[in-house]
Amino acid sequence: MRVTFTVNGRRHQADEVWEGESLLYVLRERLGLPGSKNACEQGECGSCTVRLDGVPVCACLVAAGQAEGREVVTVEGLAEYARARSDGAAAGARSERAAGDGTPAQPPVQPPPLAPVQQAFIDAGAIQCGFCTPGLLVAADELLEREPDPSDADIREALSGNLCRCTGYEKILDAVRLAAARGAETRP
């Protein structure tokens, strides 16, 4: 079957998709977006976490056909997603006008700088093998979007669906705290 949906702001179409394929398989093997990881394929590790219409889900448990017409954000688009969010927050109504004037957005010439949560994971030493990192980043970014100043208990609950086997989670907690603290510094 054919499946068409938006990934990281770009429309994608995949043909000859087997009906039993997951969104994860289509992203990784058909769309050339292997950032979302295939660690368990049973919803028990969170390595394939993506945003589906804004909601964090395990891409391994979404049938490809269920993504038809939907908006997906993966780790590959996280920096741009975070930038658009912060631009939107800073510019407020201005960005709405810009979006409404009919001028197509220019693709950035340079890749956008990392999302704050990505930079914090690097700085805090939260990445070792990195296989869990994409899913954790998507989940942590969504947490900070919802709750810019989370408590440790909030962080733990929000990330409880993401297994990490290398770090013992301490540096991941540090990273989310760090991203939150930096966010607080830049907020007016």
Q: Which of residues 5-64 bind another protein (CB under 8 A)?
A: 18-20, 22, 28-29, 32-47, 49, 55-58, 60-63
Least Å distance, CB 136 to another protein, is 9
Reduced to 3 states, what is the DSSP secondary structure of residue 152? helix
Count Cβ atoms below 10 Å from residue 34 Cβ, excluding itself: 15
Run of H or E residues at 3: strand 3-7
Least Å distance, CB 155 to another protein, is 8
List helix spans (H) across 6-56: 23-25
For the segment 143-162, give every residue that binds another protein (CB under 8 A): 153, 155-162
First to last CA, the chain: 49
Q: Which is nearer to another protein, 32 or 104 (CB)?
A: 32
For the segment 59-88, give every residue that binds another protein (CB under 8 A): 60-63, 65-66, 68, 74-76, 78-79
Reduced to 3 states, what is the DSSP secondary structure of residue 63? strand
Distance set, CA 153 to CA 64, 120, 138, 157, 167 (Å): 34, 19, 18, 6, 18
The residue count for binding another protein (CB under 8 A) is 84
Q: Which is nearer to another protein, 86 or 95 (CB)?
A: 86
For the segment 162-181, give every residue that binds another protein (CB under 8 A): 162-174, 177-178, 180-181
Distance separating alpha carbons of residues 46 and 82, to the nearest angstrom: 20
Least Å distance, CB 11 to another protein, is 19
Write each residue from 97 to 136 as x if it is in contact with another protein (CB under 8 A), else as -, in one continuous string. Answer: -----------------x---xx-xxxxx-xxxxxxxx--
Give the residue carrying structure tokens 């993504």. Answer: 67
